[in-house]
Amino acid sequence: MFVFCRLNFYAIEMTDWKKNIDLNRLPKHIAIIMDGNGRWAKQQGHLRVFGHENGVKSVRDITEGCVELGVKNLTLYAFSTENWSRPKEEVDFLMSLLITTLKGEIDTFNKNGIRLHAIGNLKSLPAKCYDELHDTMEKTKTNKRLNLILALSYSSYWEITEATKQIALDFKNNKIKEEEITPDLISKHLNTAPFPNPELMIRTSGEHRLSNYLLWQLAYAEFYFTDVLWPDFRKPHLADAIYDFQNRERRFGKTSEQIAAEQTQ
C-alpha cells in the first residue's frame, strides 16, 4: 500500500508540473542561457563534455515542455562567438554533438510540430554542422507549434554590427533616408526579425550576466536566474520560471496606477 501511494504521488508530481501556470498568459517567447554544463560534469568527477552530453537531455525536456504548454518561441544559447576560444577538443565535441542531436531529433520535431531555426554567424560553423542545420531547418519548415531557435556562433555585438553594416549600405545607396532609421528598422535587420522579442530570459547555474545574448531584443524581458545547473533543469524548473514571470508587474516605463487602469478598461 505504501509503495502504491508513493508511486501514485510521483505520478501526480510528474504529470502536474504545469498546475500553477496560467496557460492564457504565457510568455510569447522564452530565451535561455543554458549554463553550468562544465561544473555539473566536474561535480560528478567527469570531463566537461559529459555535462554537454547531459545538457541535451534538458534541451529535449524543456523543448517538450514548451510544446506541452503552448509557448510559441524558444531560443537557446547553444554556442557563442566567444565560445570559439574554448579548447579545440571541447569545440569539436560541441559541433559533433550538435550534428548527432539534430540527426536524431528530426522525427520528434515533426511529430511535435517543432520548426527549427538558427541565428548567428552560421557561415563560421564547420561545413558538416552547417549542412545538418540547414537540412533540419528545411525538413521542419512547415511545422507550426513551436519555433525552436538555436543561437549558434551568436553574439549581439556580431548581430548588431552586421545589421549596422546593412543599414549603412542601404543609406549609402539611397535606399533609405536618415529619418527612416528607427528601432523598428533596426529590429528588422536583426537575425531575430521573424520572432517577437523574448518576454522571459532564463539563465541557469547562478551566473547573473547576459554574456552578449540578445542585448537589443531583451530590452523589456523579465530576467529569471536560478542556481540549478543546466543538465539538471527540467519542466518543473521551467514552470517555476514562468510562474515567477506571471507574478511580476510589467510596466514598460509606465506607473503601477496606469497599468492597473489599463487592465480595468
Residues catalogued as catalytic: 35, 83
Cβ partners under 8 Å of residue 208, min gap 6: 225
Among 26, 30, 34, 69, binds ligand FPP (CB under 6 A): 34
Cβ distance to ligand FPP smaller for residue 143 or 246? 143
Q: CB 163 → ligand FPP: shortest distance, Å?
A: 24
Say whether residue 98 binds ligand FPP (CB under 6 A).
yes
Alpha-carbon distance values, 194 to 30, 143, 188, 235 (Å) = 15, 15, 8, 26
CA-based torsion, 191, 231, 72, 251: positive or negative: negative
Cβ distance to ligand FPP smaller for residue 27 or 36? 36
> Which residues in 35-182 belong to E strands, given as ranges?
73-80, 114-119, 146-154
Say whether residue 78 binds ligand FPP (CB under 6 A).
yes
Cα angle, residue 134 at apex, residues 111 and 230 outer, rounded to 5°: 65
- Nearest residue to ligand FPP on Cβ basis: 38
- 159 burial level (CB within 10 Å; 0-12, 13-18, 19+): buried
Piece of 28-36, 135-143, 168-176, 181-189 that binds ligand FPP (CB under 6 A): 28-36
Cβ distance to ligand FPP smaller for residue 84 or 157? 84
d(CA 9, CA 51): 30
The grid coordinates of residue 170 equal 542601404
- CB atoms inside a 10 Å sphere around CB 131: 12
d(CA 175, CA 142): 33
Piece of 5-13, 17-25, 51-59, 119-127 that binds ligand FPP (CB under 6 A): 51-59
Say whether residue 125 binds ligand FPP (CB under 6 A).
no
CA-based torsion, 155, 48, 137, 221: positive or negative: negative
Q: CB 177 → ligand FPP: shortest distance, Å?
A: 41
Q: Total residues contacting ligand FPP (rule CB under 6 A)?
A: 19
- x/- letters, 176..215, toward ligand FPP (CB under 6 A): -----------------------------x----------
Q: CB 63 → ligand FPP: shortest distance, Å?
A: 9
Among 27, 31, 52, 81, binds ligand FPP (CB under 6 A): 52
Q: CB 99 → ligand FPP: shortest distance, Å?
A: 9
Among 47, 97, 122, 160, binds ligand FPP (CB under 6 A): 97
Length of the chain: 265
Cβ distance to ligand FPP smaller for residue 78 or 239? 78
Q: Phi and psi of 231, rounded to 5°?
A: -65, -15
SS3 readout for 83-104? HHHCCHHHHHHHHHHHHHHHHH
Residues that bind ligand FPP (CB under 6 A): 34-39, 52, 55-56, 59, 76, 78, 83, 97-98, 101, 150, 205, 230
